[in-house]
Amino acid sequence: MTASRKSEFNDLGQPVGLKVPDWKPARSPTREPLTGRYCRVERLSVEKHAEALFEANALDREGRMWTYLSYGPFETLDAYREWAERFARSEDPLFYAIVDQETGNAAGIASYLRIDMQNGVIEVGHLAFSPLLQHTRTATEAMYLMMKHAFESGYRRYEWKCNSLNAPSRAAATRFGFCYEGLFRQAVLWRGRNRDTTWFSILDRDWPRVQAAFEQWLHPDNFDADGKQRVRLSDLTAPIVKQCS
């Protein structure tokens, strides 16, 4: 980005931010399902999703999916139901279940959080993907659907934050086209330990290119008869991420 696009100057010759003409606050995230080819992202419901999610999460025998989350693993269905009951009522974070279109079962959860409609900023997080969802087209499409909905709802900035030690999450952010923004040292206490937090974002001006990359990758023609990808999403988003540095 050139200096002229980063700032303007006031009458005193001081640099100031670019004007945002005709700004209107973003809308609240939908309570309606987001439907794609491979998945459906819908509000978390204890009655509809808790049992399937508990069973899917139990496939992670070692509990690796919970290492960087502030909750879990859950030893019993009742314990998971109790957790889900509390968070299904939350408005921020706003939790969704990721439902596999082929099986009709929920296989993971995600949320919008730190929802700031006045400034047009929203974060995606609380990603708890069971082994049934990890490394699948379904998981990638779920992230695309949530991202797409956020920008269509008027948000200017879509954030991804993670424990700086969580290498898979950092890699996923880059794969999805997020720009690295920095490290917040000693940001929080987490499970009695220090957590440095890594920040990423996608801005509204970057979204058209990111959207095109997702849609090219998700298209059925990008996969052979065995379901193997022909072009990697990271290859499609790499030019976008490179421009961040």
Query: What DSSP string describes 231-245?
Result: S-HHHHHHHHHHTT-
> Residue 3: pLDDT above 80?
no
Query: Which 3 state secondary structure label does DSSP give 26?
Result: coil
Q: Could you tell me what percent of the chain has a pLDDT over 90?
A: 95
Helix ranges (H only) for 176-244 are 207-218, 233-242
pLDDT category at 63 given cuts 50, 70, 90 is very high
**What is the per-residue pLDDT for 89?**
95
> What pTM did the predictor assign?
0.94
Mean pLDDT, the chain, integer: 95
- Cβ atoms of 200 and 183 within 8 Å: the answer is no
> Residue 169: pLDDT above 60?
yes
pLDDT digits (tens, 9 = 90+) for 129-138: 999 999 999 9
Residue type, 225: A
**Token pair in block for residue 92:** 């921020």
Mean pLDDT of 90-119: 97
**Superfamily (CATH H level) for 29-242:** Gcn5-related N-acetyltransferase (GNAT) (3.40.630.30)
Cα(first)–Cα(last) distance of the chain, in Å?
10
